[in-house]
Amino acid sequence: MSDIKKVSDFLTDAGVFFLASIDGDQAKCRPLGFHMLVDDKIYFGVGTFKEVWRQIQENPKIEIVALNENKDKFIRYYGTATADANPELVEKAFEMMPEIAEIYKANNWKMGIFYLDDATAEFRNMMEIEETLKFKY
């Protein structure tokens, strides 16, 4: 199994994960559930009309945290959010989430797609880091 697939699988198994960004001098965190592994990159999507998109544009240093089902291990996946304007990625995201696609299309909303570059994934238990993986694209 590739290192990036290991990260993706952890996020998939968690179901819901949390994305932390910065708004001025205040940390902001919100739950997400969507990610997709394409060409050895994990992509995330958020509405470009949302505050989180503005926050990521202003300060692309973000962190994603997910907890496993047993609640005894978690991952911290952090780095620099890098937007990817490839429309095929948005279409793939909408194929994976048809109910979200309907809402976005009905409201003429746009989805911003991004991945983490210069990223680190820390697989942790509650006391220590068990494994660290690095990703540079």
Give the phi and the psi of residue 113 in degrees, each rounded to 5.
-110, 135
Strands 26-32 and 41-47: unpaired
- What is the per-residue pLDDT for 1? 80
Show pLDDT as tens, one digit a residue, over the chain (137 residues).
899 999 999 999 999 999 999 999 999 999 999 999 999 999 999 999 999 999 999 999 999 999 999 999 999 999 999 999 999 999 999 999 999 999 999 999 999 999 999 999 999 999 999 999 999 99
3 state DSSP class of 58: helix
Q: Would you say 96 and 38 are in contact if contact means Cβ atoms under 8 Å apart?
A: no
The tokens of 6 are what?
A: 């290991």
Q: Which fold has domain 3-135?
A: Pnp Oxidase; Chain A (2.30.110)
Alpha-carbon gap, residue 117 to 84, rounded angstroms = 11
Output the pTM of the full model: 0.95
- What is the per-residue pLDDT for 82? 98
What is the b/e burial string over 74-105, where b = at least 16 CB atoms within 10 angstroms of the residue's CB?
bbbbbbebbebeeeebbebbbeebeebbeebe
Q: Which value, in Å, is the radius of gyration of the alpha carbons in the chain?
A: 15
Alpha-carbon gap, residue 44 to 114, rounded angstroms = 5
Which of the 8 DSSP states describes residue 8? H
Residues contacting 83, CB < 8 A, separation 6+: 57, 112, 113, 114
